[in-house]
């Protein structure tokens, strides 16, 4: 029998750790997150460098875009020096990086406003559209992929594979035009292009920039219904492409897990098929599935350009496209940095969730 006073004695392997000494797990976590933070900083630095170099090698003279083609040589030289283009390239980059870190992306030639102000105006529109699209992709794509894997070779599996194939094959702008023609032009079930109808444009006070949320906050149900009627078709279109990717990856992950030995053992023990699939196999695919969903969300944030153009959606994709066509490099680079930062942030978030869902990664 162990005596009470023996509990305070050091073990044979050595004295107990000193009070306040960090545990091994805490040290490992600290090193991992320090590495993630360093990787984040280096990635953002590389993003700034790449966008800056692209802006400098583009065959567009930013000075002419500011002063105009009829400016005198003296006016051109003054603008050239004011923009810092007479400095060495490394000094220009350091200046550009310092301005970006302060949130200053310069002034847009197209709109005449600060690029940061324009981005605060257009980014919520893309965020709202991409969020709804991702929600549709997750809520439909994940169950579809799980059931398709559980009933491999059945009609649900065949439907899931066709859905994924069509989602990867069909041009999104064509589906958008056909959707507008059918659901708006012929049936009249949804609103037309844009975020809101002319009647409700500017009537809802801007709080978050998300029309659906702001209209709910204001208690304006008519504006909410109008905004929903406008967003349901483009969000559904993006959601379809998202669910095609998510369902395909979910099916692949589940097939790998369902062929594992622990699943065979669980079935031999008499566990119900539902518990085997959702309680065991599905839990083991959550870690890679989180990464898939994060990448899908990031791709919708930067890849909805054609959707925004077809539906006249005033988001960041349409903003960057118009700026590029106009040679407005401040706007192009500012939008690129914002989208790239979102990708980095989503990767960081998926890494954190990865470690929370899988204790073995800590």
The 10s digit of each residue's pLDDT in 314-359 is 889 889 888 888 778 888 888 888 888 888 888 778 777 777 766 5
| pLDDT of 247 over the 70 cut | yes
The 10s digit of each residue's pLDDT in 248-269 is 999 999 999 888 888 888 888 8
Evaluate whether 156 touches 147 at the Cβ level (below 8 Å): yes
Judgement on whether residues 255 and 350 belong to the same structural domain of the protein: yes
Separation CA 167–CA 145 (nearest Å): 14
Judgement on whether residues 245 and 97 belong to the same structural domain of the protein: no
**Total domains, the chain:** 2
Q: Measured over all CA atoms, what is the biggest interatomic distance in the chain, rounded to whole angstroms? A: 99
Give the range of the structural domain holding residue 239, as residue numbers without chain letter: 118-361
Judgement on whether residues 194 and 155 belong to the same structural domain of the protein: yes
Separation CA 333–CA 50 (nearest Å): 10
Q: Among 52, 70, 101, which residue terminates a domain?
A: 101
Tokens matching residue 305: 């350009």
Separation CA 199–CA 78 (nearest Å): 46
Q: What is the pTM of this model?
A: 0.79
Evaluate whether 233 touches 179 at the Cβ level (below 8 Å): yes
In a domain, 113, yes or no: no
In a domain, 10, yes or no: no
Judgement on whether residues 312 and 182 belong to the same structural domain of the protein: yes
* DSSP labels, 167-220: HHHS-HHHHHHHHIIIIIIIS--S--SSSS-TTTTTTSPPSSS-HHHHHHHHT-
Report the candidate in 279, 289, 266, 190 with the shortest Cα–Cα distance to residue 235: 190
Evaluate whether 142 touches 252 at the Cβ level (below 8 Å): no
Please report, for the domain that includes residue 342, its CATH number.
1.10.3720.10
């Amino acid at each position: 029998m162990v005596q009470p006073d023996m509990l305070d004695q050091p073990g044979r392997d050595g004295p107990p750790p000193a009070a306040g000494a960090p545990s091994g797990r805490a040290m490992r976590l600290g090193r991992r997150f320090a590495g993630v933070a360093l990787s984040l900083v280096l990635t953002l630095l590389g993003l700034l460098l790449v966008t800056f170099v692209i802006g400098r090698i583009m065959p567009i003279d930013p000075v002419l875009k500011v002063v105009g083609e009829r400016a005198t040589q003296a006016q051109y030289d003054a603008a050239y020096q004011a923009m810092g283009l007479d400095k060495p390239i490394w000094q220009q980059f350091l200046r550009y990086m310092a301005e970006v870190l302060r949130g200053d992306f310069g002034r847009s030639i197209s709109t005449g406003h600060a690029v940061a102000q324009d981005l605060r105006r257009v980014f919520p529109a893309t965020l709202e559209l991409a969020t709804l699209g991702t929600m549709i992709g997750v809520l439909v794509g994940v169950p579809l992929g799980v059931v398709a894997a559980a009933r491999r070779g059945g009609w649900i599996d065949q439907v899931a594979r066709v859905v994924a194939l069509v989602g990867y094959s069909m041009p999104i702008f064509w589906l958008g035009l056909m959707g507008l023609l059918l659901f708006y032009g012929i049936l009249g079930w949804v609103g037309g292009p844009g975020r809101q109808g002319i009647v409700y444009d500017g009537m809802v006070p801007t709080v978050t920039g998300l029309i659906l949320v702001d209209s709910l906050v204001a208690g304006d149900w008519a504006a909410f219904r109008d905004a929903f009627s406008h967003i349901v078709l483009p969000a559904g279109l993006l959601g379809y492409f998202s669910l095609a990717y998510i369902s395909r990856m979910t099916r692949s992950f589940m097939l790998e897990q369902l062929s594992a030995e622990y699943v065979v053992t669980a079935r031999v023990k008499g566990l119900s098929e539902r518990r085997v699939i959702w309680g065991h196999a599905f839990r083991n695919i959550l870690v890679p599935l989180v990464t898939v969903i994060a990448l899908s969300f990031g791709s919708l944030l930067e890849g909805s350009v054609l959707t925004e153009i077809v539906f006249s959606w005033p988001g960041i994709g349409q903003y960057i496209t118009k700026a590029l066509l106009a040679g407005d490099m401040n706007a192009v680079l500012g939008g690129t940095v914002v989208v790239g930062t979102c990708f980095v942030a989503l990767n960081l978030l998926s890494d954190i969730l990865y470690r929370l869902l899988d204790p073995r990664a800590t």
